[in-house]
Structure 1
Amino acid sequence: MIPVASAAFWGSRAENDTQVPAPLVVPPSQYWDGDDGAWSSFALRVGTPAQNVRVLVSTNSPETMVVLPLGCTTQAIKPLPSGCANARGGLFNSSLSSTWMDQGLFGINQDGVGFEANLGYSVNADYGLETLGLGFAGGPSEPTLENQTVAAIASKSPFYTGIFGLGTQPVNYSTIGNFSAPSFFTSLRSKQLIPSLSWSYTAGAKYRLKAGQYAQLIFGGYDSSRFTPNSASFTLAGDIDRDIVVGIQSITYSGTTQTSLLTTPIFAFIESTDPNIWLPKAACQAIEQAFGISTDKATDLYLINSTQYAKLQTTNPQITFTLGDSLTGGETVNVVLPFGALALPASYPLTSNDTYYFPLKTAANDSQITLGRAFLQEAYLTVDYERGNFSVSQCTWQDGAPAQIESIVSSSYSATPSPTSSPTSDAATGSKKLSSGATAGIVIGAVLVVAAAAGLAYYFFIVRRKRANSVNEEQPIH
């Protein structure tokens, strides 16, 4: 069970007289971005003077990625769309920043290992250390951290917009003397700006409520108004590149009929970088038959034409995922995806014309089975890396519902009083009834120790040398 403190205790002091910081709620940009869906983005301030960009959350990236001005030239996209810079969330020009410290050109992964390697992602980026802040320049004051890893990209794929990484592992620049730069997330914790090494995230849903529901990202806490409590608890896996793993015990289609879409339970990785749901071939075929969809040869997408869309919207079929910490038995949680979550708007350059597509991909092997960003429209995810556990809950939808922010407090704050008002019945939030697990954050390589407020080491990282695949600096970023 994760210790939680109500608002009354956010300002309390531990025995070492260190104030317990409050959860950090990151405001959404209030824009919907992307060519593979209408995604609720977040604003970042990059560089000095600050340049505004809008990015999507990547729950497993160790770095932040931004789009270079080169990304809005015919070298990257041809023909070049009007309003390209805005469509890509804004551009970052490193030559205009006095704090950019270039580290060189690298690939985002190496030899099939590392960030999104299992899904076949491959792109070169110009890596640097930069000043990075949350929110728009001139907006509400939010934390700004120096010497953060920023990867600048130009290619239109696999990232059309930039991303903001929530990963725990540092980026290791092995070509310049094994220098490691901690992630933004771990930097927040080591600077005692958040109460624990934890976060909560849901992707938001434009199809919900009167004007859509924006995404939510909270460091060190969660918002109990955004999800339905359940008693299922999950343990983080040991592989830092694939740690938020759940057992999918069943997948059920409900429409004009009801049928099972999964013959054998499977393990799946939950992550927000990729928009798709990756399932074994048999499950994809069952979904194809249930929804009457097929892949388009030109795009390799399950395109939905206007006639199909109107028909499916009328019947409003849905898919229910039953998840547990294991493949059979134990406490489970159901996450229901309505048709609105499964008919994503696609636009140029992903498709030549505006249309809809079904976010489904066939997994070539077990390492590709993934519940991507489309799933997180309807799921609320809370991850506690200090205790090695996480929760998944069904989102709730209520216009004007006041936020109910709760804190997840590190065990290092040993004198923090027990909350008197935190909900506890059947895990009133997913982060309460979480089982204790092995401490997460294990990577391959060196060890990074993040000091806790009590003065003891609270977290250890074994760092993979992710950046050993240096690319020739004359090679274009694409």
Structure 2
Amino acid sequence: PSPLVVPPSQYWDGDNGAWSSFALRVGTPPQDVRVLVSTNSPEAMVVVPLGCTTTAVNPVPADCANSRGGLFNTSQSSTWQEQGFFGINENGVGFEADLGYSQNAEYGLDTLGLGFTGGPGGPTLENQTIAAIASVSPFYTGIFGLSTQPVNYSTIGNFSAPSYFTSLRSQKLIPSLSWSYTAGAKYRLKAGQYAQLIFGGFDTSRFTSNSASFTLAGDIDRDIVVGIQSIIYSGTTQANLLSTPTYAFIESTDPNIWLPEAACQEFEKAFGISIDESTGLYLMNTTQYAQLEATNAQVTFTLGNSLTGGETVNIILPFSAFALPASYPLTSNDTYYFPLKKAANDSQVTLGRAFLQEAYLTVDYERGNFSVSQCLWVDGAASQIESILSPTYPTNISSPALPASNAAKSSNHLSPGVIAAIVIVVVFVVAAVLGLAYYFFVYRHVPSNAP
């Protein structure tokens, strides 16, 4: 099978930024919703009509249903199979537990497809886990999970439902258990660059290749881990923002960059920002935003597979990547905020969705490795999609298929050097055969001159 390229919705959604979303078709008949990608969630999460009532938020936002990405009504789907109400994690373990997320949801199984009804899209799969929510925090819009982990319903006989991602692979709809994702950036190019999500491949037109390779960690809830070796601020001055290298989890569910307190203090000094006590956010008013934008500052994250040494990659974030628009109900008025959070411990150090505006992430679960690359910004660039083939395919004789080393492509073509060697061998064999034929059929039958 070929890589599955999921079309973006071409909308910018969210109350904690302008995020490029994707469309899902949920239920029977299909109901369209727009959601954000969660690289570490095992399920799809959608907003129900209760989410646009005063029970969930007061006052109800203007154009609430649209601002939340559309609503899914479970009672209007003939294929909805109720499973019950559960939390997204339990006892400090599970999805986003490290960051303190708490969310109850109505879980069920239903049909789930990629893309808008009637538009270009992807497969529709049955019996997919759907988590229906109403509250506006920590999720204002729904999400679409890319995790390999199943959802386990322990209270109803240990029933286990596979994720959409693993279902694609088990049904042989994608060439491998791999995906590539970048969050997109509204501040880039003429009209913004939408997010990109590809199952079983990657797009070489969207990033700069590098030689760094990373291995997946053993913790299934925190597996895409990199070593942050340094963080350098470049603006009116230059400063090292990270005194001690640290490991960080890359994920797209949370928008923030979570760093040790000492590093956050260095960010505060470099950008002149401070926490707003009422919201817990690093808010920026219009004047402060304009001043920071004028400095044209940027921050360079140097990442490696370990805390020191080895091959590394630099991911550069301009100030625009840190100037996220915030709106109601996250804030009472429209403003900007700096997506920085203080990590209480090592398990909270995270490079969230803001980081993935400028980083292209490719993860190969079958080989246990991944790559992180700097995004490219070229208006009108044609996509160059390449496959990541499963190592289980007998025709795949190449090494792990990741863009960092271009090994992710699988090819059955011979290189020019190999072809030349084959030609030389063939010519030698032909010459030898002709020589032997001459000896036996010509030379040995020449009449002797002896008396």
Q: What is the TM-score of this pair, normalised by structure 1? A: 0.84
- Cα distance, 1:418 vs. partner? 6.1
Alpha carbons 2:6, 2:121 under 8 Å: kept: no
1:5-404 aligned within 5 A: 21-404=1-384
SS in 2 for 1:86: helix
Q: Cα–Cα, structure 1 residues 141 and 263, in superposed 2: closer, same or farther, change >3 Å?
A: closer
SS in 1 for 2:386: strand
Alpha carbons 2:398, 2:407 under 8 Å: kept: no
Distance 2:406 2:245 in 1: 26
Distance 2:3 2:180 in 1: 10
SS in 1 for 2:86: strand
- Cα distance, 1:129 vs. partner? 0.3
Aligned to 1:7: none
SS in 1 for 2:98: helix
Is it true that 1:430 corresponds to 2:404 in the alignment? yes
Aligned to 2:421: none
Alpha carbons 1:382, 1:431 under 8 Å: kept: no
Aligned to 1:444: none
Distance 1:351 1:158 in 2: 13
Amino acid in structure 2 at the alignment position of 1:410: S
Aligned to 1:440: none
Distance 1:109 1:361 in 2: 21
Amino acid in structure 2 at the alignment position of 1:377: Q
Q: Cα–Cα, structure 1 residues 39 and 97, in superposed 2: closer, same or farther, change >3 Å?
A: same
Unaligned runs of 5+ in 1: 1-20, 435-478
- Cα distance, 1:56 vs. partner? 0.1
Alpha carbons 2:26, 2:33 under 8 Å: kept: yes
Unaligned runs of 5+ in 2: 409-451
Amino acid in structure 1 at the alignment position of 2:249: F
- Cα distance, 1:433 vs. partner? 5.7
Alpha carbons 1:232, 1:433 under 8 Å: kept: no
Task: Summarize deviations over 1:305-344 as a string: whole Å, max 9, x none.
Answer: 1111111111111110000000000000000000110000
Distance 1:431 1:52 in 2: 38
SS in 2 for 1:118: coil
Q: Percent identity?
A: 79
Task: Summarize deviations over 1:359-391 as a string: whole Å, max 9, x none.
Answer: 000000000000000000000000000000000
Distance 2:68 2:406 in 1: 38
Distance 2:404 2:115 in 1: 27
- Cα distance, 1:403 vs. partner? 0.2
Q: Which has the higher contact order (CA 8 A, sep 6+)?
A: 1
Matched length: 408
Alpha carbons 1:245, 1:267 under 8 Å: kept: yes
Distance 2:208 2:406 in 1: 13
- Cα distance, 1:81 vs. partner? 1.2
Alpha carbons 2:88, 2:103 under 8 Å: kept: yes
Amino acid in structure 1 at the alignment position of 2:404: G
- Cα distance, 1:413 vs. partner? 1.0
Distance 1:114 1:174 in 2: 14
Task: Summarize deviations over 1:430-467 as a string: whole Å, max 9, x none.
Answer: 26468xxxxxxxxxxxxxxxxxxxxxxxxxxxxxxxxx
Task: Summarize deviations over 1:72-95 as a string: whole Å, max 9, x none.
Answer: 000101011110000000000000
SS in 2 for 1:288: helix
- Cα distance, 1:415 vs. partner? 2.1
Amino acid in structure 2 at the alignment position of 1:237: A
By percentage of residues, which structure has more helix?
Answer: 2
| Ranges of 4+ aligned residues in structure 1 off by more than 3 Å | 416-419, 431-434
Task: Summarize deviations over 1:187-219 as a string: whole Å, max 9, x none.
Answer: 000000000000000000000000000000000
Q: Cα–Cα, structure 1 residues 161 and 119, in superposed 2: closer, same or farther, change >3 Å?
A: same
Distance 1:140 1:26 in 2: 9
Alpha carbons 1:231, 1:433 under 8 Å: kept: no
Distance 1:258 1:141 in 2: 46
- Cα distance, 1:417 vs. partner? 6.9
